[in-house]
Amino acid sequence: MDLPHETVLILDFGSQYVQLIARRVREQHVYSEIVPHTITAAAIRKRAPKGLIFSGGPASVYTKDAPRCDPDILRLGIPILGICYGMQLGATLLGGQVKSAPAREFGRTTLHILRHEKLLADLPGEMTVWNSHGDQVDGISEDFIPIARTATCPVAAVKHRTTPFYGVQFHPEVSHTPQGPALLANFLTTICQCRGDWRIRAFIDATEADIRKKVGRAHVVCGLSGGVDSSVVAMLCHRAIGKQLHCIFVDNGLLRLNEAQSVEKTFRDHFKMDLIVADARQLFLDRLRDVVDPEKKRKIIGHAFVEVFREKARAIPGARFLAQGTLYPDVIESRSPTGAPSATIKTHHNVGGLPAELGFDLVEPLRELFKDEVRQIGLELGMPEDMVWRQPFPGPGLAVRICGEVTAQRLDILRKADAVVLDEIRKADLYRKLGQSFAVLVPVKSVGVMGDERTHENVLAVRAVETVDYMTADWARLPYDVLARISNRVINEVRGVNRVVYDISSKPPSTIEWE
Ligand code: XMP
């Protein structure tokens, strides 16, 4: 995107933290982008960044196939901050030496500042930092000035005498380095002289202009699921091109209580978008008949979704583009320098994703954004808060929360029970604190007693997890009284359930969903 703002480029040497660095820079209101470490000095010059950051990485600079970078990059005169491996590489390219540290440093260490150079200005003389390295810069040449040390690392931070190169052996981007944001702010403001005027508002304006330019007079279709990403995409496109946008919402019958109505109300009635609702409830139910294997369910749902979407999209005259909510982490994952994803590993493709054979050109206005930035845009554009802060909901919907066969009756039971769970979680003010919270219909009949009668009915499991990245998750310690209210209400209000259990498994080894 042609953005008229200052940029910092982050060269990715395979660090698991590379996305975190990008976010930390953006939090200082400086736009950042991650680029492969193979980028040339000429390509960087063309981008005219205000600064560069060399990320960490798992390699040792002395191994033969360690990732390197174009050495001319260090002669561009652009300020560089090397982090961990990035510091070692920069120091090596500038004639320093890297030795294997006698003591490997992992975890929290105390950093002692030797000189309050620009990078360390106004930081406490001693501070906690997070380390994760085996190699360290040692025996540095005269060209470098050590500016901080730890007990085992004499050169924990350096500055080059003549080139604007700074290096830190520790990780300022992780939350275990409490002064990390202050150090990055020093680098960005004092050393790179950034104004720090990147604001989400400017992004919105520039993105809308981009969409208009790309689309011209053509029409755009957008698959709306009611989730944050697709909703924000729809809103941005609608602001940019108004009636040329056509949203398609596939009601697959696997949604939560009142979900379809709420999407219609928000987007058609409130935002006045052209919303096409495809009522495909019966089709999905028919296709899912007798299917119990979770992966089969996913495949069937994915295919049916594409089929229904394609039919509706084809009926829109002049539609040439498809708007999609691809986020920056997805973009980065698909072009990691080592070939392996550096941070999160996606195990499930989103069934909302549409295949290229549909023949549309893509409009992906969120390609450069992280999830929290997408939420900020949603808020800025007046999206209802409960939509902005929605917990993720899997593409195959309630089908993977009904263990065993999906029938209209079982969907009905789960939908009602799930609504009770969410209602109580919201009333207890826990919804936003939890990564996900929902109900699962277990394929077990349990014996109970209601009045004088014995019952033989369904077991409902309640699942609530705390998580940051959904790759690992811990079961939430919900207060007993919340659990008690959920159990009471589900058993009293939902016919067909006579027992409620709480899932106390963490991921790994369990998963968040039951199927
Ligand atoms: P698991 O169950 O693997 O889930 O711990 C991790 C996250 O992925 C979501 N999930 C899915 N999302 N299609 C999706 O779009 C799927 O098939 C699917 N399966 C799981 C799950 O809700 C959680 O957020």
Q: How many CA atoms lie within 13 A of 421 on its CB side?
A: 24
Distance CA(428)–CA(407), nearest Å, equals 31
pLDDT over 50 (residue 343): no
Q: Whose CA is nearest to atom 21 of ligand 1?
A: 394
Is residue 194 among the annotated active site residues?
Answer: no
pLDDT in tens, 431-449: 999 999 999 999 999 999 9
Establish whether residue 395 lines the binding site of ligand 1, counting it when its CB lies within 6 angstroms of any ligand atom: yes
Contacts for 293 with CB less than 8 Å, ≥ 6 apart: none
Determine the pLDDT at residue 358. 80
Determine the pLDDT at residue 16. 85
Q: Whose CA is nearest to atom 20 of ligand 1?
A: 394
Residue 77 falls in which region: left (phi positive, over 0), alpha (psi -120 to 50) or beta: left
Q: Whose CA is nearest to atom 16 of ligand 1?
A: 394
Residues 378-387 have a mean pLDDT of: 92
Q: Please tell me which residue in 33, 69, 84, 105 is annotated as part of the active site.
A: 84
Contacts for 216 with CB less than 8 Å, ≥ 6 apart: none
pLDDT in tens, 452-479: 889 999 999 999 999 988 888 999 999 9
Q: What is the pTM of this model?
A: 0.80
Establish whether residue 351 lines the binding site of ligand 1, counting it when its CB lies within 6 angstroms of any ligand atom: yes
Is residue 173 among the annotated active site residues?
Answer: yes
Establish whether residue 180 lines the binding site of ligand 1, counting it when its CB lies within 6 angstroms of any ligand atom: no
> pLDDT tier at 203 (50, 70, 90 boundaries)?
confident
Determine the pLDDT at residue 261. 95
CA of 514 to the centre of ligand 1 (A): 10
Residues 71-97 have a mean pLDDT of: 94
3-state secondary structure 398-416: HHHHECCCCCHHHHHHHHH
> pLDDT tier at 22 (50, 70, 90 boundaries)?
very high
Is residue 237 among the annotated active site residues?
Answer: no
CA of 446 to the centre of ligand 1 (A): 28
Establish whether residue 67 lines the binding site of ligand 1, counting it when its CB lies within 6 angstroms of any ligand atom: no
Nearest 5 degrees, angle CA 84-CA 85-CA 89?
120
Closest CA relative to residue 217, chosen from 242, 186, 244: 244
Determine the pLDDT at residue 294. 96
Tokens 């390295």 locate to: 133
Q: Please tell me which residue in 160, 171, 219, 246 is annotated as part of the active site.
A: 171
Determine the pLDDT at residue 102. 65
Establish whether residue 347 lines the binding site of ligand 1, counting it when its CB lies within 6 angstroms of any ligand atom: yes
Establish whether residue 394 lines the binding site of ligand 1, counting it when its CB lies within 6 angstroms of any ligand atom: yes
Q: Domains in the chain, please, with CATH? A: 7-191 (3.40.50.880), 200-388 (3.40.50.620), 400-502 (3.30.300.10)
Phi, psi for 43 (deg, rounded to 5): -65, -35
Determine the pLDDT at residue 4. 54
Residues 9-16 have a mean pLDDT of: 94
Distance CA(395)–CA(305), nearest Å, equals 10
382, burial (CB in 10 Å: exposed 0-12, middle 13-18, buried 19+): exposed
Q: Please tell me which residue in 33, 105, 117, 173 is annotated as part of the active site.
A: 173
pLDDT in tens, 357-381: 788 999 999 998 888 899 999 999 9
Determine the pLDDT at residue 345. 32
Q: Would you give the distance in Å from CA 197 to the centre of its chain?
A: 23
310, burial (CB in 10 Å: exposed 0-12, middle 13-18, buried 19+): middle
Establish whether residue 448 lines the binding site of ligand 1, counting it when its CB lies within 6 angstroms of any ligand atom: no
Strands 126-137 and 98-113: antiparallel
Cα radius of gyration (the chain): 26
Distance CA(236)–CA(246), nearest Å, equals 13
Residue 190 falls in which region: left (phi positive, over 0), alpha (psi -120 to 50) or beta: alpha
Nearest 5 degrees, angle CA 406-CA 408-CA 414?
75
Determine the pLDDT at residue 346. 33
CA of 288 to the centre of ligand 1 (A): 19
Determine the pLDDT at residue 351. 36
| Residue 122 CB coordination number (10 Å) | 11
Establish whether residue 298 lines the binding site of ligand 1, counting it when its CB lies within 6 angstroms of any ligand atom: yes
CA of 400 to the centre of ligand 1 (A): 9
Closest CA relative to residue 351, chosen from 307, 314, 382: 307
Residues 409-429 have a mean pLDDT of: 98
Establish whether residue 396 lines the binding site of ligand 1, counting it when its CB lies within 6 angstroms of any ligand atom: yes
Tokens 């009635």 locate to: 269
Ligand 1 closest atom vs CA 507: 5
Establish whether residue 513 lines the binding site of ligand 1, counting it when its CB lies within 6 angstroms of any ligand atom: yes
pLDDT in tens, 232-267: 999 999 999 999 999 999 999 999 999 999 999 999
In three-state secondary structure terms, 310 is: helix
Pocket test for ligand 1, best of 250, 513, 514, 515 (most atoms within 8 A of CB): 513
> pLDDT tier at 344 (50, 70, 90 boundaries)?
very low
Question: Which comes out higher in pLDDT, residue 349 or 63?
Answer: 63
Residues 388-415 have a mean pLDDT of: 97
- Tokens found for residue 301: 């749902």
Determine the pLDDT at residue 471. 85
CA of 471 to the centre of ligand 1 (A): 10
Establish whether residue 512 lines the binding site of ligand 1, counting it when its CB lies within 6 angstroms of any ligand atom: yes
Ligand 1 closest atom vs CA 511: 5
Establish whether residue 511 lines the binding site of ligand 1, counting it when its CB lies within 6 angstroms of any ligand atom: yes
Distance CA(216)–CA(233), nearest Å, equals 17
Determine the pLDDT at residue 139. 67
Residues 187-194 have a mean pLDDT of: 98
Tokens 């495909």 locate to: 280
Longest CA–CA separation in the chain, Å: 90
343, burial (CB in 10 Å: exposed 0-12, middle 13-18, buried 19+): middle
Cis preceding-peptide flag for 509 (omega within 30 of 0): yes
Ligand 1 closest atom vs CA 393: 22
| Summary mean pLDDT of the chain | 91
Determine the pLDDT at residue 295. 95
pLDDT over 80 (residue 78): yes
CA of 431 to the centre of ligand 1 (A): 18
CA of 291 to the centre of ligand 1 (A): 19
Determine the pLDDT at residue 353. 58
Least confident of 135-149, 191-205, 231-245: 135-149
Distance CA(254)–CA(395), nearest Å, equals 9
| Residue 139 CB coordination number (10 Å) | 10
pLDDT in tens, 28-74: 999 999 999 999 999 999 999 999 999 999 888 888 889 999 999 99
Residues 141-163 have a mean pLDDT of: 92
Q: How many CA atoms lie within 13 A of 24 on its CB side?
A: 25
